[in-house]
Amino acid sequence: MAINDTRESVQRVVDELFAQGILTAHVEATLERPKSREHGDYATNVALVAAKSSSLPPRELAHQIAERLSADPAFTDVSVAGPGFVNIRLSAQTQGEIAERVVHLGSGYGRNDALLGKSFNVEFISANPTGPLHLGHTRWAAVGDALARVLAAAGADVTTEFYINDRGVQMDKFGASVMAAASGEAVPEDGYHGGYILDLAAQINREHPEFRQLPAEEQLVAFREEAYALQWQQQKDVLELFRTHFDVWYSERKLYDSGAVERAQARLEEQGHVFESEGALWLRTTTFGDDKDRVLIKENGERTYFAADTAYYVDKRMRGFDTAIYLLGADHHGYVNRLRAVAACAGDDMDENIEILIGQMVKITRGGVEVKLSKRSGQIVTLEELVEEVGVDAARYTLARYPVETPLVVDLEEIARKANDNPVFYVQYAHARISSVLRNAEDIGAKWRESEFIPELLNSDQENELLGVIEKFPAVIATAAELREPHRVARFLEELASAYHGFYDACRVLPRSDEELGSVHIARLWVCAATQQTLANGLELLGVSAREKM
């Protein structure tokens, strides 16, 4: 029996009490998994909530509900506890059926329709193409990609997008830095100083010796464009290595070339929020909660970076997305109000059509000593270096298992040294362990799939616990998607792995050498297969590999 069926049973009882006048208001029943298993498989606080609209005290009301629920054969035990909780325990048979269902659903288990019909544009990283991606970007790579996968698993239509800031002063500084390095000159004081600049310069010198014969101005453009192409490719390669896929790479230049900037301005003017003052063109964002109005076109006729931001937002909406989700670092939180105001100025609902997730910074330590990050001074820890030290699985998992609003401290030495203590290995090990058991089952000819599955044989505490955890998976995905918190999937996997290890320790799966293969072994093999499938599906959402062996 799924959680929804149980909830409906409770709802029916509540409705009955309403019909009989014991309750004077209609109350929506909610069901939850108690933290403690001692409280049963499910619990409802409906009596506590409904007590206000009843003449009965909460506990008395709870007893009335419990008494009626007891009549349902799917429940073996219904009791009242604490201030008025109703605890429900399912029969082993009802509970055990989940294993069969999971195996049959396969990689589709967990998918649900919580966000069916909604379309999202998820934008993250969006780094300048003037250097390698560093550890800060890596967090958004892991979280953004996992979020996109989770939203899709909840039935949403999702497009991932990377915005390339390939226009403006920084690009020229980048070009000038590479050009200087290529001529063996000192990089300008306000340029980029990392070792990668020297590498880019060397490569361009090798492949395009003719560049240095060009007049200074043309030479700058040539170096800038070539360095941009190489650096962008490098970013794409590294993200590919990191299993982070972008459906769209959106260039700021394209925004201008396609006329999107003018279109956005026209849209904002139609809505009546644009005005002229002091020789500049402004957007009245203060109407919608911003601290100050923002300039779109400067006194000197140039468009601001903000103008591009507005155009980009409007363009996303014109491409048909219901909601534009932005993942931004805490150093950009000042943008939240103005971006939301942009949405409102464009005539949209700023609570519905735009969502900005602010992620806190990742502090890096090495042996307890903080590593300062600064791209321009060249002191960086790159995504690539992190992957080399700890691997893609550990990196992705470690960064995805915390809520983004948590400032994170990652010690590189610790991750590298204690790789085996990382929760990702604990989860992967559970998957590998099951794979081994199933291989052994095949070796001894245990054809569990073709054998009768008798769910009521799964009646130990550990089996009940494990099945209960497996059953939560679709709800976990739905919650993770609705709250935009993919870390919930990782936490769930740790709980699931723990429940499996506990089961494995207490319940022998395969027959011992002196035993015959029996129905209990078959039933437990179904449980193993269901657990393995759930682990694999969850790891897939995080972009972490489900290993067959370790």
- Asked whether position 429 contacts RNA by CB under 7 A, the answer is yes
Q: How far is the CB of 94 from RNA (least distance, A)?
A: 19
Rounded-to-integer distance, Cα 466 and Cα 317, Å: 44
The single-letter code of the amino acid at 322 is D
What sign does the dihedral 219-223-229-230 (CA atoms) show?
positive
Selected range binding RNA among 101-109, 221-229, 297-305, 310-318, rule: CB under 7 A: 297-305
Q: How far is the CB of 500 from RNA (least distance, A)?
A: 8
Q: Of residues 101, 104, 245, 333, which one binds RNA by CB under 7 A?
A: 333
Q: The tokens of 465 are what?
A: 């616990």
Q: Of residues 20, 189, 195, 549, which one binds RNA by CB under 7 A?
A: 549
If the CB atoms of residues 85 and 109 are measured against RNA, the closer one turns out to be 85
210 exposed, middle or buried (CB, 10 Å; 0-12, 13-18, 19+)? exposed
- Asked whether position 87 contacts RNA by CB under 7 A, the answer is yes
- Asked whether position 107 contacts RNA by CB under 7 A, the answer is no
Enumerate the β-bridge partners of residue 248: 161
Selected range binding RNA among 197-205, 240-248, 415-423, 533-541, rule: CB under 7 A: 415-423
Site string for RNA, 343-382 (x = CB under 7 A): ---------------x-xx---------------------
Rounded-to-integer distance, Cα 335 and Cα 119, Å: 23
Rounded-to-integer distance, Cα 13 and Cα 9, Å: 7
Q: Of residues 22, 56, 74, 81, which one binds RNA by CB under 7 A?
A: 81
Q: Of residues 29, 43, 201, 345, which one binds RNA by CB under 7 A?
A: 43
If the CB atoms of residues 141 and 546 are measured against RNA, the closer one turns out to be 546
Specify the pairing of strand 274-277 against strand 75-81: unpaired
Q: The tokens of 373 are what?
A: 């990050």
Among positions 121-140, residues that touch RNA (CB under 7 A) are: 128
Q: What is the 3-state secondary structure (H, E, C) of 381-448?
A: CEHHHHHHHHCHHHHHHHHHCCCCCCCEEEEHHHHHHCHHHCHHHHHHHHHHHHHHHHHHHHHCCCCH
Nearest CA among 313, 393, 327, 400 for reference residue 358: 327
Among positions 241-270, residues that touch RNA (CB under 7 A) are: none
Q: Is 275 helix (H, G, I), strand (E, B) or coil?
A: strand
Rounded-to-integer distance, Cα 392 and Cα 140, Å: 14
- Asked whether position 433 contacts RNA by CB under 7 A, the answer is yes
Q: Of residues 134, 137, 139, 487, which one binds RNA by CB under 7 A?
A: 487
Q: Of residues 125, 432, 467, 469, which one binds RNA by CB under 7 A?
A: 432
Q: How far is the CB of 303 from RNA (least distance, A)?
A: 8
H or E segment and range at residue 251: strand 248-251
H or E segment and range at residue 270: helix 260-270
Among positions 500-539, residues that touch RNA (CB under 7 A) are: 501-502, 504-510, 512-514
Q: How far is the CB of 484 from RNA (least distance, A)?
A: 11
Specify the pairing of strand 362-366 against strand 369-370: antiparallel
- Asked whether position 304 contacts RNA by CB under 7 A, the answer is yes
If the CB atoms of residues 152 and 295 are measured against RNA, the closer one turns out to be 295
CB neighbours (10 Å) of residue 220? 17
Q: How far is the CB of 44 from RNA (least distance, A)?
A: 8
- Asked whether position 4 contacts RNA by CB under 7 A, the answer is no
Enumerate the β-bridge partners of residue 161: 123, 248
Q: Of residues 137, 138, 488, 546, which one binds RNA by CB under 7 A?
A: 488
If the CB atoms of residues 2 and 361 are measured against RNA, the closer one turns out to be 361
Q: How far is the CB of 83 from RNA (least distance, A)?
A: 5
Rounded-to-integer distance, Cα 446 and Cα 526, Å: 11
Question: CA 412 from chain center: how many Å?
Answer: 23
Selected range binding RNA among 224-232, 264-272, 399-407, 532-540, rule: CB under 7 A: 399-407
Selected range binding RNA among 90-98, 225-233, 447-455, 477-485, rule: CB under 7 A: 477-485
If the CB atoms of residues 189 and 505 are measured against RNA, the closer one turns out to be 505
Among positions 172-191, residues that touch RNA (CB under 7 A) are: none
Q: Of residues 5, 26, 28, 52, which one binds RNA by CB under 7 A?
A: 52
The single-letter code of the amino acid at 53 is S
Selected range binding RNA among 104-112, 386-394, 445-453, 497-505, rule: CB under 7 A: 497-505
- Asked whether position 331 contacts RNA by CB under 7 A, the answer is yes
Q: Of residues 82, 108, 367, 518, which one binds RNA by CB under 7 A?
A: 82
Nearest CA among 73, 78, 75, 92 for reference residue 46: 78
Nearest CA among 462, 443, 444, 449 for reference residue 529: 449
Helices and strands per DSSP (H, E), number in the chain: 19, 15
